[in-house]
Amino acid sequence: MSRFGGRVAVVTGAGSGIGAAVARRLTADGALVAALDVDGDAARATVADAGGSIAVVADVADPGSVDAAVAAVEQQLGPVDLLAHVAGIDADRALKERLAEHRRAVERGDGERGFRGLVDLTDEQWDRVLRVNLDGTFYVVRATLRVMIPRRRGAIVTTASTAGMSGNAGVAHYAASKGGVRILTQSVAREVAPFGIRVNTIAPGATATPMFGRTPDGERLVAGTPIGRSADPDELAAAYSYLLSDDASYIVGETMNVNGGMVIQ
């Protein structure tokens, strides 16, 4: 008997990195997976690779697009039982490079230790990250719960970050978006546990994905991690599969750190 035995799962951000690994893993564990991504080619590539189910194109930052996607999944596979909401974006590359250059300058003893991260952050940079990461989590979880609550069953895992646990100088908007995901998850977990629906979040650390590849000083983060290496996305996927499964039947509102010891709480 497989872990999920034909239950219907939506995986957002399934076109790349952690989301693609989660889609593969849930498919292997017996779920019918809807691989959702704003990048349709990437979502279709994941479905071809995972060997099952359907690709769905949607922008998690657009509530109409999300609602239509959840309706399309219900029509093609049946009502959603499981949600792994993984889609998210990082701070833009120019900002991360400016931060990395600042760190190098401080190490050379050349320049002030302080970094004018927040005061130089533009409204557009703030809005872009908050819209996808925090608003997007609201839209996806809301649409899914509308299907789960009447059926009195379901499990949801959202995606936070180590940055959302203890803050991250230079990318306060990203950290705030992920801290928001965590508190949103905890609040909703309290709301819907009485309906038989479990909601938890995973806070990944340095994980070897295209997003992490865009981090200019990623090696520094990995070097500061007790385990001494980045995670393989499959190691994250194992945690999503566990929290979505009945093996985690008494775990509600938890933040699971999957970070090699980068943040221990």
Ligand X SMILES: NC(=O)c1ccc[n+]([C@@H]2O[C@H](COP(=O)([O-])OP(=O)(O)OC[C@H]3O[C@@H](n4cnc5c(N)ncnc54)[C@H](O)[C@@H]3O)[C@@H](O)[C@H]2O)c1
- Which residues contact ligand X (rule: CB under 6 A)? 12-13, 15-19, 37-39, 42, 59-61, 86-89, 132, 136, 159, 161, 204, 206-207, 209-212
Partner residues linked to 10 by β-bridges: 34, 83
The smaller minimum CB distance to ligand X, of residues 106 and 183, is found at 183
* In the complex, minimum distance from the CB of residue 28 to ligand X, in angstroms, rounded to a whole number: 18
Which residue from 49, 27, 15 is spatially nearest to 241, judged by alpha carbons? 27
Whichever of 16 and 241 has its CB closer to ligand X, that residue is 16
State the Cα–Cα distance between residues 179 and 122, nearest whole angstrom: 20
Residue 52, SS3 per DSSP: coil
Select 97 or 195, whichever has its Cβ closest to ligand X: 97
242 noted as active-site residue: no
> If 0-12 CB within 10 Å is exposed, 13-18 middle and 19+ buried, where does residue 72 land?
middle
- Report in angstroms how near the CB of residue 113 gets to ligand X at its nearest: 25
Q: Per the residue annotation, which of 139, 174, 240, 250 is the catalytic one?
A: 174
Cβ distance to ligand X smaller for residue 5 or 210 = 210
For residue 256, the SS3 value is strand
Smallest gap from residue 258 Cβ to ligand X (A): 9
**Nearest approach, Cβ of residue 230 and ligand X (Å):** 7
Distance set, CA 74 to CA 20, 25, 33, 55, 224 (Å) = 21, 21, 11, 13, 44
Residues recognised as catalytic: 174
